[in-house]
Structure 1
Amino acid sequence: MSEFVVSGRFQDRTGHREFEKTVEAPNENVAREHTLSQLGSEHGLKRMQVEISGVSAA
């Protein structure tokens, strides 16, 4: 599996917050899904509240 860096921002109580996560996944689409799942779990966010700006190989 490859490592991908997923970056973007999500809606917080105080506005928008930037994030950058390194995820191990077989392809970019799976890396996006893992990131959405992690952010939802950690911060109680819905997918609509997360805006992914880019996915790149690490």
Structure 2
Amino acid sequence: MSTYTVSGQFQSRDGFQPFTKEVDAENEDLARERIYTTVGSQHNRKRTQIEIEEVTAA
């Protein structure tokens, strides 16, 4: 497994909130999926309310 750094933003009451998170995943697509599930569950947001801007291998 590799570590990926994912940055983006999600909708909140006050506009968009930026985020940067590190996740362990086998590839870039799985890293995106983990971010959708993690940010979505922590902040009660749907996938359409989360914008991933960049995924880089750390």
User: So what's the TM-score if we normalise by structure 1?
Assistant: 0.98
Residue 31 of structure 1: CA displacement? 0.2
Structure 2: distance between partners of 1:50 and 1:38: 11
**Structure 2: segments with no counterpart, 5+ residues:** none
Partner of 1:53: 53
What is the RMSD of the two structures over their aligned residues, measured on CA atoms? Answer: 0.4
User: So what's the TM-score if we normalise by structure 2?
Assistant: 0.98
Aligned to 1:24, the other structure's residue is in SS state strand
Partner of 2:16: 16
- Count of aligned positions: 58
Structure 2: distance between partners of 1:41 and 1:13: 16
Deviations 1:1-54 (A, max 9, x none): 000000000000110000000000000000000000001110000000000001
Structure 1 runs (4+) deviating above 2 angstroms are none
Partner of 1:35: 35
Partner of 1:3: 3
Residue 55 of structure 1: CA displacement? 0.2
**Structure 1: segments with no counterpart, 5+ residues:** none
